Structure 1
Amino acid sequence: MLRSPLDQLHSSYPDLATQLKSTSTQLHTHSFDTQSIPPVTSESMTPEQVGQQRRRLASEYHSLLAQTRQLPGFESFLQPVKANELICAVRNGPVVVLNCHTGRCDALVIMPGHDQIVHLPLASFTEHKARLARSQLDASLGKKGLRQRGVKSTNQISYEEGFERMLATLWNDIVQPVLCHLGFLSRIYNYAISSYIPNLTALLASTPTQLTHSCRVLAIGQANTPGQSRLPGTTKELAHVKAHMHNKAEYLQLIDSHATTAAVLDAMAQHDWIHLACHASQNVKDPIKSGFHLHDGTLDLSAINRRSFKNKGLAFLSACQTATGDENLPDEAIHLASGMLMTGYCSVIATMWSVDDRDAPFVADKVYAQLMKDGTLGNGEAGRALHHGVARLREKVGEKKFGRWVPYIHIGS
């Protein structure tokens, strides 16, 4: 998680968190390098002194842990969440956990109101098939020019055979067996509204909220970002967002030169929702350096996380590859969308690759229309609104234009 338990402790008890982090770092370092302990004299410490120092640090660490677990809200600090607590987080529909290993692949199905986890072997799927599907996807996206948001030429968005082969593999070997187990058949989007979570803990923290006139919505638009390609569609996109907020919520937009990193960060602290229509980039080597390209630089997750936002609502990331992780770490939720979830937003809409600049305003219009109609957030409403918006886009462009409607995903509650 980008927002670790230690970050949460620091928000409430900064001195204790600093002590715990310092002791933990020293203990970890001394466990691997017996010569790294600063000498108490001009000479190096003896092995006996090293052992005494390590035992002292271990005792101090466990004492600080015990002290932390006496505090309200931190009773289970740095302990795994119990399985029965995670199962209780499943409320609005089945949750399917996929596990792909060299030796086998399986699905774990958790049903609302049930205290048992169902194990479903996926005998037809293999790690090799997963890697092949990823390669087919990358090849298709590369040929179509879908690695950067912007205006696409017609031939770039045309149907690619490799894309359909990849989707067929996922359907035949993973999705269909799961849906058959659940009693569903045919096309998945006729039966399921897909939402993703980095882990079940994300559902535990969700609290449904009513959309009222006091709700504050921030929209960021960058049609002309220095050093980036133009995004003319963002102007229309923000016009749609503004129209839907009229008489429904407080609305502020920062566009082009007004959308500096400092201004946006300060505005985020004052607003409940955020809509980002701009370029973005992932840093797979250092995920907290992933960020959004604004007028004067990149607003990264590290800067957002330092603000310790709490109880935020929707983050709509209408940017480039905001839900794309590291291809070498496919199981790690280290993308921008997951990062926004961990920084305090309960619900995130993002894309797995860059979208057509003409499609983004269309989807945003449909999503916000549905959200304003529902009037609530945090109980699956954002996922349903996105499902509705993507369905309208699919009807408009055609089912075979996978590259245009497939990338949109919802993460969170």
Structure 2
Amino acid sequence: MQLRQPDDKKSLFSLYAQLVDAPQLVSLTDLSAARAWIQVAEEFQHPATLLAYETSLQLLIHHLAALPLLPQHLIILKERSASLAVDAFSACLRRGARVRAVELLEQGRSVFWSQLSRLRFPLDDVMASGPPGKLLADEFMHVASLIRIALDSSGADQHGQLCHLNLEMQRIIINIRELPGLSRFLLPSPFSDIRHAASGGPVVIVNASQYSCDALVVLLDRDPVHIPLQITLERVRDLSKEVNNLTVRAARANVTRELAAFLRKLWDLIVFPIVDFLLTTHPPQSRIWWCPTGEFSVLPLHAAGPFRNGQQNLPDLYISSYTSTLGALIRARRPAPSNSTTQGKRFVAIGQAKAAGKTELLSVGAELDVIRQRVDSLVAFTRIDGEESCISRVVEELRETEWVHLACHGFPNRTHPFESAFALHDGHFTIQQIIGCDLKNPQFAYLSACHTTVGDKDSPDEVIHLASAMQFAGFRSVIGTMWVVDDGETNKITSTFYKHMVDESGCLDHTRAAFALNKTMRSVKDLPLDQRILYIHLGA
């Protein structure tokens, strides 16, 4: 941009700064102006760059808060928020603001999930604040229920009704924030709260921005540690294409040697500098959580290693899990409403071998048999397969169960992610249907289906895929897949996994899932490499 007079830049930034005081009802024009402010601020390396990012994120959230919570509004995120959170994170790190980097990334990622979570926010503190709080909590739950009903309706006046209900919800939220001690109700969390995501081990944010690629290790007892990565966004994109090509080819050829070389590249370029630091603070066999952004989210970081004789790969050093945001991990650790033992709890194994136009999954029946052998004596076990695995029955069972295993075809939709689905007997069980389920006490879900962690190709930071939908529905711990599952290899993996899910007292424990997956994949060395590393653990 060319500014002809010395005062032009000052005048321009003064005009942009007026966006800070924009009204609560934000227009698309406001969002476009804020993005233009960021572009100019980055170009001139202006002192107001961080303010521009903060304002743009706040305006985006205000704009979405006044919209009906419909999947089609994801297009606004694609058009108006592409790279916003990851670039804000990079801008903070380039200025040494590590704590603020975490806060802005947390605020700007998974915005759609965050907006939907307003309808499920725990209202205990509100109700405990006295009669006014009890009244507002009742109003909140009533309007939230009306929004859910409207979301499930296809009436012509749906949009207008939802706009009215969302404005009513905003009024209730403002009134709740006026109650003592509730001024931050549904507001972005400060770092002092976010850092508790690292209570079980460090969370490693791996961020890919056009301006820089960085790792930031979030720790419970000290400020985040910044690890600059010597890799560009374009190189990360090349790596994501490479792993996709390799895993597609794996279905018809042995790619073990090429895949090992690829995982060596991940180690050298991304993972080793992080592990080199972690080894100074956390002993081997500790748990770590990966929080990748953008193109990093499709890379199997958990499986990286030198793949050289006498050297340990990452799975030999640490037990990896993933999380979409730090808030999602905190929610996954929330106390269960009942005791944590498996006594009296239910396990539902759901199988569907056939899907229209797809190859029959010949091992589904045997997979469910293996699970029964492992867990039948530990929990109340229910098996649903064949014609019984219809959508209505599955929803009914999910509402009452703590543990679920799904063995079927998975269908990711990379352009309309809310249409991603599991194939059941009478049709597709979609993400939109999953998040509408009202589950009592979900704990663990094993998704033995293809591509369950594959989301929208144009908006990866919204993390909208089948595994994240199960997390949003309430499951604290989820096993998902990064690419195609070889039907013929599932039984050995499943049997070994559930053997390791039993704790010392002889009970199934959902908090052992990351350990059980790590142990399983290190022990089934006779499987093709692509099948040993495609499973990932999400959550607590």
The letter of the residue matching 1:17 is A
Alignment-derived partner of residue 529 in structure 2: 402
Contact 1:2 1:343 in 2 (8 A): no
Q: Distance in 1 between matches of 2:167 and 2:424?
A: 47
Partner of 1:98: 206
2:369 maps to 239
CA deviation string 1:144-170 (max 9, x = no partner): 33xxxxxxxxxx240266534432221
Distance 2:182 2:437 in 1: 21
For normalisation by structure 1, the TM-score amounts to: 0.80
* Residue 326 of structure 1: aligned partner: 456
Equivalent position to 1:384, from 515, 520, 526: 515
Which protein has greater RCO, CA pairs closer than 8 Å, 6+ apart? Answer: 1
Task: Report the CA distance between 1:232 and its aligned residue.
Answer: 1.1
The equivalences for 1:9-408 within 5 A come to: 13-17=140-144, 63-69=171-177, 76-112=184-220, 114-122=221-229, 124-145=230-251, 156-159=252-255, 162-183=258-279, 186-205=312-331, 206=333, 207=335, 210-373=340-503, 375=507, 377-379=509-511, 381-393=512-524, 395-397=525-527, 401-408=528-535
Q: How far apart in 1 are the matches of 2:431 and 2:397?
A: 15
Separation (CA, whole Å) in 2 of partners of 1:277 and 1:20: 32
Q: 1:73 to 1:224 in 2, by over 3 A?
A: farther
1:344 CA drift (Å): 0.8
Distance 1:334 1:299 in 2: 15
Identity of aligned pairs, percent? 29
- Is contact 1:222–1:294 with CA below 8 Å preserved after alignment? yes
For the 8 Å contact 2:197–2:203, the answer to whether it is kept is: no
RMSD: 3.1
- 1:190 Cα shift? 0.8
Query: Can you give the 5+ residue segments of structure 1 that lack an aligned partner in the other structure?
Result: 22-35, 38-56, 146-155
Higher helix share: 2
SS at match of 2:319: coil
What letter is aligned with 2:312? S
Match in the other structure for 1:148: none
Q: Which amino acid aligns with 1:391?
A: R
Partners in 2 of 1:17 and 1:68 — Cα distance? 15
Tell whether the 8 Å contact from 1:20 to 1:64 is kept in structure 2 after alignment: no
Relative distance call for 1:58 and 1:340 in structure 2 (3 A) is closer
Cα 1:211/1:231, change in 2 over 3 Å? farther
Q: Secondary structure at the match of 2:476?
A: strand
Aligned with 1:283: secondary structure? coil
Shift, 1:18, TM fit: 7.0
CA distance, structure 2, for counterparts of residue 223 and residue 176 of structure 1: 41
TM-score w.r.t. length of structure 2: 0.62
Distance 1:289 1:96, change over 3 A: same
Ranges in structure 2 where 5+ consecutive residues have no aligned partner: 1-111, 124-137, 149-158, 285-310
CA distance in 2, matches of 1:73, 1:411: 32
In 2: Cα distance, 1:396 partner to 1:335 partner: 30
Alpha-carbon distance in 1 for matches of 2:385, 2:455? 28
Distance, in Å, in 2 between the alignment partners of 1:20 and 1:221 is 33
Deviations 1:248-306 (A, max 9, x none): 10000111111011111111112111100000111233322211100110111211222
Cα distance in 2 between the residues matched to 1:72 and 1:234: 54
Count, aligned residues: 365
| Structure-1 separation of matches of 2:244 and 2:526 | 25
SS in 2 for 1:312: coil
Q: How has the CA–CA distance of structure 1 residues 310 and 119 changed in structure 2, closer, same or farther, with 3 Å as cutoff?
A: farther
